[in-house]
Structure 1
Amino acid sequence: MFLKNAWYVACTPDEIAGKPLGRMICGERMVFYRAADGAVAALEDFCPHRGAPLSLGSVRDGQLVCGYHGLTMGANGKCVSMPCQRVGGIPSVRVFPAVERYGFIWVWPGDAALADPAKIHHLEWAHNPAWAYGGGLYHIACDYRLMIDNLMDLTHETYVHASSIGQPEIEEAPPATKVDGDTVTTSRFMHNIVPPPFWAAALRGNGLADDVPCDRWQICHFTPPSHVMIEVGVAHAGKGGYEADARDKASSIVVDFITPESETSIWYFWGMARNFAVHDTALTDTIRTGQGKIFAEDLGMLEAQQRNLLTWPERPLLKLNIDAGGVQSRRVIERLIEKERQAADAGVPA
């Protein structure tokens, strides 16, 4: 269903500020907190005493205290102490590799021996001061692959997001999809269009006229296990489109980290990174608010789609030319899952 030997975004640092956080990822119940040295710790969310969720406890001196009977766990998964009890024989709980990087906390739900932090995708916008970022988190009741389909085929913007980023020219411009190893890219370019409301506001935010013909682009990049980065923007027509000088365009990267919770639910970390007016915090807030509303529209559609698919599981879904990005992304996922399964059956590292 999903890759286990991969890095997923688990949460943001503010979610574990002073208290533990319980979250299920890829079917694994985990608890996240900060250890005594300030590093992030991720344990199985199960107290070995009576099975209570450790996430309902507290953090004391960098150790996790169960909220039921006070059993205290260390970041290594071993019991440290318990009131009036000897703890030598208390079993340990599973430790999940966790890393704090790029403003997110990442977790590896698979074989800990294979967890190499170097495999976390480089995110230039996350540490380069020439970029600004704002985002949020949605919990959505849908298969994570439905969200990948949604993001790799932006034709739906014409209908789902008609009041913000949608416009007829999107469906009139044919997309092109290519596969390079495990990366799938779908591109769409529009020329001499009127910028929709969201992009008109972005042009104004960059000090540009919003009432002139523009060129628009959408370049969607899928990478395993379930990340989608979308280069988006508009430029005044005749200035070079995607290649236009920064003075003539408003461009951004739509950030989509899709973390499976279960087979029918996800944690969706969304945001937008931009390289114009980066010190304008009011603009960051405005974009975040606007983008949040746009993704809320996706949420409603995807959850309704999931309910339909559960009601009619035998109904086949069509594969049209606009679906190529999502179809190819699914094929990459299926291939890697099968490789992981075969390695597990053979008892060798994936």
Structure 2
Amino acid sequence: MDIEQVPTKTWPRNAWYVACTPDEIDGKPLGRQICGERMVFFRGGDGKVAALDDFCPHRGAPLSLGFVQGGALVCGYHGLAMGCEGSTVAMPGQRVGGFPPIRTFPVIERYGFIWVWPGDAEAADPARLHHLEWAESDEWAYGGGLYHVACDYRLMIDNLMDLTHETYVHATSIGQKEIDEAPVKTRVVGKEVVTSRFMDGIKAPPFWQMALESAGLPGDATVDRWQVCRFSLPSHVMIEVGVALEGKGGYDADDKDKASSIVVDFITPETETSHWYFWGMARRFAVQDKALTDTIREGQGKIFGEDMEILQLQQRNLDRYPDRKLLLLNIDAGGVRSRMMIDRALAEEAGARQLTQRADTV
């Protein structure tokens, strides 16, 4: 293949993506397509997670249709058993020592998630995994879920980096007219795109009234509200949200005067028009209240379900009219800059591949 013909995708490959949660591989394998690669995840005999090409080298059946036995992944078609390193370790009535191994993918289990590196395995660096303070501290509580969304993963990033839509899509929960009226500031801070909006001296919408009361504060109080969206490669969005009693410092208020959270969004591409959306909320108030965690998870699930409906219909329209140009407004700056960061990462990967190919031809 000529250098100019090297295929490119819309996602960086040399990066850590959330692949699944531990409960999804509890005693069984999980097949999942990530960044165009069909993978199978399972827990080996030593308790460590492995990720293999979801392709049995015997007859090509998906290994994910099999089962885990003795720390190996057994194909559900003819019983070929694969080890965590991609080598065939056993098969009924057959010597398998000389079988070539299949591809494996680097994995890390950390912060309550299993992460996979779909690109060059030699480049996989655990230090490039984001530090998530809220996942390691007793001062935070977390609850979340997973949606499979039939749209380009970048549409979800656009959605999360511009929260103006809350006024219209989520009018009964977190939306309010003040979101439209507050100025939006977008900037690049280090390796993050940051979009922020602050609303002072307002009444909290229904979700935040509930949060205030759960934090031991009056739900009908006048508050200062904030939304700080942070995008980082390859496709993660952390949104700092909250309300504080008016005049107590807003975003910087003492914990006793506010209810604050981080909306957690890990967006893992599946295909060019679908992705896995791992969503949740890490909160700093009433952290021991497990019933509240369940209530917030249920409410947040409904909110993100509203987003999913819009985004999937948006994707259908874009597929129907691929040549139509879309308008850009000032509220789109966060999504635009996030896409620019993705494009730079793609260009860097393409350049590295070209250098490798040139070296191979010398």
TM-score, length-normalised on structure 2? Answer: 0.95
Task: Work out whether 1:210 is the aligned partner of 2:236.
Answer: no
In the alignment, which residue of structure 1 is the partner of 2:355?
346
Structure 2 matches for 1:1-350, cutoff 5 A?
1-347=10-356
Name the count of aligned residue pairs: 349
In the alignment, which residue of structure 1 is the partner of 2:4?
none
Query: Per the alignment, in what secondary structure is the counterpart of residue 95 of structure 1?
Result: coil
2-side partners of 1:89 and 1:263: how far apart? Answer: 37
2-side partners of 1:247 and 1:88: how far apart? Answer: 63
CA deviation after TM superposition for structure 1 residue 86, in Å:
2.0
Letter in 2 for 1:327: V
2-side partners of 1:332 and 1:317: how far apart? Answer: 20
2-side partners of 1:105 and 1:127: how far apart? Answer: 15
2-side partners of 1:89 and 1:316: how far apart? Answer: 55
Letter in 1 for 2:57: P
What is the CA deviation profile of residues 142-173 of structure 1, one whole-angstrom value per residue up to 9, with x for unaligned ones? 00000000000000000000000000000111
CA deviation after TM superposition for structure 1 residue 85, in Å:
1.4
Aligned CA-pair RMSD:
1.0
CA deviation after TM superposition for structure 1 residue 233, in Å:
0.2
What is the CA deviation profile of residues 7-31 of structure 1, one whole-angstrom value per residue up to 9, with x for unaligned ones? 0000000000000000000000000
Query: Per the alignment, in what secondary structure is the counterpart of residue 272 of structure 1?
Result: strand
Letter in 2 for 1:200: Q
TM-score, length-normalised on structure 1? Answer: 0.98
- Please identify runs of 4+ aligned residues in structure 1 that moved more than 4 A: none
CA deviation after TM superposition for structure 1 residue 91, in Å:
2.6
2-side partners of 1:134 and 1:258: how far apart? Answer: 16
2-side partners of 1:177 and 1:283: how far apart? Answer: 33
2-side partners of 1:182 and 1:110: how far apart? Answer: 20
CA deviation after TM superposition for structure 1 residue 92, in Å:
1.5
Query: Per the alignment, in what secondary structure is the counterpart of residue 354 of structure 2?
Result: helix
Gaps of 5+ in 1: none
Gaps of 5+ in 2: 1-9
CA deviation after TM superposition for structure 1 residue 181, in Å:
3.9
2-side partners of 1:180 and 1:220: how far apart? Answer: 12
2-side partners of 1:87 and 1:248: how far apart? Answer: 65
1-side partners of 2:51 and 2:109: how far apart? Answer: 11
2-side partners of 1:86 and 1:279: how far apart? Answer: 55
CA deviation after TM superposition for structure 1 residue 180, in Å:
2.6
What is the CA deviation profile of residues 78-106 of structure 1, one whole-angstrom value per residue up to 9, with x for unaligned ones? 10111111213433210000010000000
What is the CA deviation profile of residues 307-342 of structure 1, one whole-angstrom value per residue up to 9, with x for unaligned ones? 000000001111110000000000000011010011
Letter in 2 for 1:282: A
Query: Per the alignment, in what secondary structure is the counterpart of residue 347 of structure 1?
Result: helix
Between stretches 124-133 and 84-93, larger displacement belongs to 84-93
